[in-house]
Every structure is written in C-alpha cells, then in structure tokens.
Structure 1
Amino acid sequence: MLNPQYQGKQWYLAYCKPKEEQRAKIHLDNQGIESYYPSVVVEKMRRGKRVSVEEPLFPGYLFVQADLEQISPVTLSSTRGISKFIGSGRNHWYVIPQALIINMIRHEDSDEARELLNQQPKPGQKVEITEGPFQGIDAIYLEADGETRSMLFINMLEKQTPVSVDNQSLSFKS
C-alpha cells in the first residue's frame, strides 16, 4: 500500500511505453520508489465467453511518488518502461494532488465501484429499449453480443424475436 505521509514526496504522472506500465512499476519498486497503477475489472467477450479481465484505468500512464531532491529526475525518466513524465519542460513535471490519488485508491477496490463496472442484466431479466427504432419497447435480456451490444427478445407480431441492441440504449427493470 502507498504511504502518503512523506513530507518531500509528490505525485507525478509518467507516460509509459506501449503496454509497459507493469514493467515500469516493477522497476520503480526495485528502486524503492512508490508508484500506483490503478486498474479495474471489466467483463469482456473472449472466444465467445464472457470473462472478467483486469485492465488499466488509465492505459499508458503510471502515478509515481518521489522526492525530486533525493531522487534525480534523470533516474526516474530513464526507468525501464517509462517514456516521459507529464509536465511543461524537461525538469518541470506537473504535481498530481495527493487527495486525488488517495481517493482513487479508496474507490478502486470498493464493492460499489465493482458493481457499477459490472452492471449487466441477467438472462431473462426485463429491460426497456430507450433509443433507436425499438424505443419504448419492453424486452427480455438474452445474452451479451460482444462488448457493446446485447441480444434481446422482443414481442413482434405475437412472436418473440431476437434483436441486437446497443447497451447504451437499455434501461434495466427490477
């Protein structure tokens, strides 16, 4: 866990080389430098099955806590996996408010955050289509249709017909 009580330490934002956020974090840890790489668990379709996958909240970025009077900015910038630090100029990096980092840490592992991210209807649950050509029609959730769409049954001419609808066009019913 991160220790935000250090007086001279500030949080900075590092831009990492493509897909090397985890590598940069490991190399910073090896140097005794604290870093924070927020991630979220999301549900995705893999080989036709819905699986939970951990993904970065900010792909390509890593928060680094350091005292620039004790650790050279050159040392931080040359850490494997880090491309550059975000700021204006070579040695003037933007300071990230500590309260923002602490707030992200608090909410990252909360049940509330997990529930919001994984809010998916269960098969057989009633939903309402709120946009598009089927707007206002009640339907029954069947299954996910990729990452952004859902398969639903709607009543059309006294017959249940499957349709694929954008997830943003759905409202869940209890």
Structure 2
Amino acid sequence: MKIKKILVILLSIITLVSLSINYIYLKEHQRKDYHYTVFIDQINTELRHIITNTNKLTEHNLTGDNLQDSLNDLTTNLAIFNHSLQNSVLFIDGVDHKGQTMIGRMNKLITSGYKINQQFIPRFAEDNKLSPQESLILNSFYDLLKQAREQLNTESDSQQISKNRLNDILDLFSSNNFDTLIKRGGSN
C-alpha cells in the first residue's frame, strides 16, 4: 500500500515536470516562429520600399534636390535592410546573412563611391543627375530586388518559407553578386 502511494506521488511529480517542460518548449518554439514570421514580414516590407525608391530613380528623370532626396530615401532603406540582414543571424536560428552584403556595398557606392577591380566608381549623382552607368547599375539592382521579392512572395504565399529557401533568396544579396551587378551596369 505504501509503495503504491509512493508510485502515485512519483508519477504525479514526473507528469507535472513533463508537462512543465513541454509547455516551456512549446512557448519557446512559438516565440521562435513569431520572430521568424516578423523577420520575413520585415524583409518583405524593406524590399518593397527599396524597390519603390529604386523604381522612382530609374523611371523618372530626376535631377537636383529631387534626385538627392530620392537617393537619400534609398540609402536610408538600404541601411535598414542591410542592418536587418546582418543581425538576422543573432535572433533567427538557421538564417545566414553571408557576411558583408551587396546591400551594404550598394549603399556605400551610392553615398561614397566604390573601388572595384582597380577602378573607382564615384558616388552617384555627383553632378545632380544620374549618369548612364549609374542608371544601368540601378536598373540591374532593381531587377535583382524584384526577383528576390517575387521569390519571397511566391514561397511565403503558399506556406511559411523554409529557412533553407530563405537563405537561397538572401544569397542573391551576397557580396559576391555585387561584382556581377556592377559589371552588368557597365563597369569594366
């Protein structure tokens, strides 16, 4: 009788501990899913802003203050997006930003200029208008942004996008692709 009572108490304690551990695990899993969903939404929103700003620069023949304001809007959004990509690894398990991103390099190119393959490309709109090379670079960048956003939306519409698939999409913004983007934009 005494052994039966001890077993009942022991099983009750084990059940309570097990339920507590499962509850904690469930909450942690829900928290990670929530952060991941917020991250996907944030990336999507930031891509939309960058696409809108880049489209404005490529579609309209902006000059002077209008051009500078649009470039400032674009570089602000690029900085936010780059920050999100670089910090994603800190709060999302399994998402890798691949080091310095193309987004950071594009931001540097627009604001300060950039040296690539022994050639210095000056900052954008030094003469208050976009050069043909700058327009080509922005058009190539715009195409890449649209491609990434379409892939992201296609995946996230059907289900929650897998982290492996998200990494593949974010890999479009790896710094290795920056050289290719610049070459498509007309740099030698």
Please say whether Structure 1 and Structure 2 have the same fold, judged by a TM-score greater than 0.5.
no
TM-score where L is the length of structure 2? 0.27
Give the structure with higher Rg (CA).
2
TM-score where L is the length of structure 1? 0.29
Bigger share in helix: 2
